[in-house]
Structure 1
Amino acid sequence: MAFFLSKLLWMIANPANLMGVLALLATVAALLRWRRLMIGTLTLLLALCTAMTVTPLPNAVLAALELRFPQPDLGKLPKVDGIIVLGGAVDTNRSGDFNTLVVTDAAERLLALSDLGRRFPNAKLVMTGGSANIDRDGALMEADLVRDKFLPMVGIDPGRVIFERDSRNTDENARFSAALVKPQPGDVWLLVTSAYHMPRAVGIFRHQGWPVVPYPVDYGSSRDSPISFDLLGGMQNFYWASREWIGLVYYRLLGRTDSLFPGP
C-alpha cells in the first residue's frame, strides 16, 4: 500500500506536473476571460520559471543533499566485506523496448560497481533492484539486466554477484538484501547510490540495523551555485531534490528512517 501511495503522492507533488497544471489553468482562464485567475496563475508560473532559471535555489536544495555524506577515504577503512549497489541506473522499460541496455542519469552506480569490484576482489557484491512499475506483469528486472547485459561488458563474473531482483524501492532494497546476505556485526559494507539519494538510503539501512559506509556517486550540483539561465537544468535539479526531500519526510512519517535528515 505504501508503494502505491508514494507513487500517487509524487504525481501530485512533482514540480513539473505542477507547472503543467498552472499553464493549463492559465489557458482555460484566458479562454473563459477569468482575468484574475489568469494573471494569478501566470504570475505563479513565471515566478517558478524564474526561480528555476536565475536563482541558486535548484542547486542549493540539491547540494544540501549531495554534500551530506562525503566520499570516504577507502584507504583508511580496515576492510571491505561487501559492496551493495542500489538500482536506478537502468531504464528497464526502454531496455526491453530496444532489447539492449539503456542506462539512466544514475549510470555512475554501475561504474562504481565495476570499479569497486576490481579494487576489492574479495568483497561480496550485491546488485539490488527489480522494477518500479506499478504493473509488473512481464516487466524486466534491473538486476537481471545488469547480470545479462552490463557485467559481460565490463568483464565481471556474474557468479560473483548476489542479485536481489524483487525490490521496488529503497526500503525494499535494504530489507530484501539484508535477508539475502545476512550482514554480521563488524562487517564493513559500502553503499553505492546517487549522492542526492544517500541521506534517505543511509537512514533506511540504519533502520534495518545495517550500518553501511556511504559511497556517493552521480553528483548533479555545483559548489559555486552558478546562475546558468538554464530552465531545463534548473528544473531537473529541483525535480530530483524535491523528490528526495519529500521522500525523507514521507519515510520518516512511516518510521522507515532513523531521523528526518540522516547525517554522518
Structure 2
Amino acid sequence: MSQSLQKLFVGLTYPPALSLCLIVVALALLVLRRRRGAAATFVAAMAWSALWSIPMASDWLRGRVEQRYPPVDEAALPRADAIVVLGGGMRYGWLDRPDVRPEDLENSRLAAGARAWLAERAPIVILSGGGENGGEGSDGSEARMMAIAIARLGVPPSALVLEERSHNTRDNARYTAQILERRQSRHVLLVTSSLHMPRAMEQFRSEGIDAVAVPVPERARRVTWKQRWFPSRSALWRSGRAFKEMGGLLMVRIQN
C-alpha cells in the first residue's frame, strides 16, 4: 500500500474525518434525489462522532487496545541490555515541580524508564525521538528534551544514548536497531504508552529486537456523572488516538 493511501486510511480513523466524508456522501445522495439514503447517511455521520465523544465510550475503546499490555512493576522486569523510551511529545509540566520523583508520575514514559534504570534493569537508557518537533525556534530534537527531563528523575547523562533521527514508530525501531547492533545488543525493555505498545512491539520485533514491554497507562480520572457521560472534545481526541493505533497496527501487519 502506498504512503499516500496509508496516510488517508489513518486520517479517516479520526471520527470527525470519517463523519465529514459521510456528510459529503449524504450531500451527493441528496443531489441524486436519494433522500432516504442521504438522511440515513447524515444521521450515521453525526452519530459516529457523537458516540466517540462520550468519555465512557472513549475509555471502553481505548481499553480494547490497552488490555493487551497491562502495566507491570519495575521489580518484576528482567534484566536487559538497554531501556528504550519512545518520545510522546515535548511537554513536561512536572519539570516545574520542585521535588518531583519518578514514582510520582504514573503516566510518564520518562518516569517509567527512570524507574527501570534505578531498579538496575539495564545499564543504559536509549531516548528515541527525532527532530520533527525541533528546528528553528525550538530547543532541538525530542530526544534532547527527553534527556533534560529524565535527568531531573535521577538518570545521569552518562547512562543516556540519544536517537534523534526518528519521525515515527517505524523509524524508532529502525534507528534503535542500528544503535543496538553497534553495541552488539538486542535485548531491551521498551517503554511507551499502553495504547501505543501493540504497534511499537510489532515494529521493534520486525527489526529483530528482543523487546519486553514496559507499558505506561494514560488513565483519565472520571469522578462525576458529567465527566463520564457528557460529550467532550478531549474524549473525541482520545477515541481518535485509539482508532489511529488500530489502523496503524493493521498497516504494520499488512506490510510485515
TM range (shorter): 0.7 to 0.9
Aligned to 2:213: 214
CA distance in 2: counterparts of 1:141 and 1:107, whole angstroms: 22
Is the partner of 1:144 in helix, strand or coil?
A: helix
Decide whether the 8 Å contact of 1:188 with 1:212 is kept in 2: yes
Aligned to 2:229: 228
Describe the shift of the 1:209–1:243 C-alpha distance in structure 2 as closer, same or farther (beyond 3 A): same
Shift of 1:17: 2.2
Shift of 1:113: 2.6
CA distance in 1: counterparts of 2:6 and 2:88, whole angstroms: 16
Shift of 1:203: 1.3
Task: Look up the equivalent residue of 2:71 and give its one-letter code.
Answer: Q
Describe the shift of the 1:157–1:2 C-alpha distance in structure 2 as closer, same or farther (beyond 3 A): farther
Task: Look up the equivalent residue of 1:130 and give its one-letter code.
Answer: G
Shift of 1:114: 2.8
CA distance in 2: counterparts of 1:203 and 1:220, whole angstroms: 23
CA distance in 2: counterparts of 1:72 and 1:107, whole angstroms: 13
Residue-pair matches, total = 235
Deviations 1:133-178, CA, capped at 9 Å, x for gaps: 7xx864742112223x424543532232000000111111111111
Aligned to 2:241: 240
Structure 1 unmatched ranges of 5 or more: 92-105, 256-264
Describe the shift of the 1:67–1:7 C-alpha distance in structure 2 as closer, same or farther (beyond 3 A): same
The yes-or-no answer on 1:164 pairing with 2:163 is yes
Q: TM-score, normalised by structure 1?
A: 0.71
Aligned to 1:67: 67
Is the partner of 1:201 in helix, strand or coil?
A: helix
CA distance in 1: counterparts of 2:207 and 2:244, whole angstroms: 22
Aligned to 2:97: none
Describe the shift of the 1:180–1:2 C-alpha distance in structure 2 as closer, same or farther (beyond 3 A): farther
CA distance in 2: counterparts of 1:189 and 1:111, whole angstroms: 17
CA distance in 2: counterparts of 1:243 and 1:201, whole angstroms: 13
The yes-or-no answer on 1:112 pairing with 2:112 is yes
Shift of 1:16: 2.5
- Root-mean-square deviation over aligned CA pairs: 3.8
Shift of 1:118: 2.3
Aligned to 2:191: 192
Is the partner of 2:229 in helix, strand or coil?
A: coil
Decide whether the 8 Å contact of 2:205 with 2:211 is kept in 1: yes
CA distance in 1: counterparts of 2:144 and 2:174, whole angstroms: 19
CA distance in 2: counterparts of 1:55 and 1:142, whole angstroms: 30
Describe the shift of the 1:220–1:131 C-alpha distance in structure 2 as closer, same or farther (beyond 3 A): farther
Decide whether the 8 Å contact of 1:66 with 1:221 is kept in 2: no
Aligned to 2:255: 254
Task: Look up the equivalent residue of 1:85 and give its one-letter code.
Answer: V
Describe the shift of the 1:35–1:2 C-alpha distance in structure 2 as closer, same or farther (beyond 3 A): closer
Aligned to 1:259: none
Aligned to 1:262: none
Task: Look up the equivalent residue of 1:190 and give its one-letter code.
Answer: L
Aligned to 2:141: 141
Shift of 1:247: 0.4
Q: TM-score, normalised by structure 2?
A: 0.73
CA distance in 1: counterparts of 2:19 and 2:54, whole angstroms: 17
Describe the shift of the 1:108–1:24 C-alpha distance in structure 2 as closer, same or farther (beyond 3 A): farther
Structure 2 unmatched ranges of 5 or more: 92-105
**% identical equivalent positions:** 28
Decide whether the 8 Å contact of 1:52 with 1:234 is kept in 2: yes
Aligned to 1:179: 178
Task: Look up the equivalent residue of 1:118 and give its one-letter code.
Answer: L
Aligned to 2:94: none
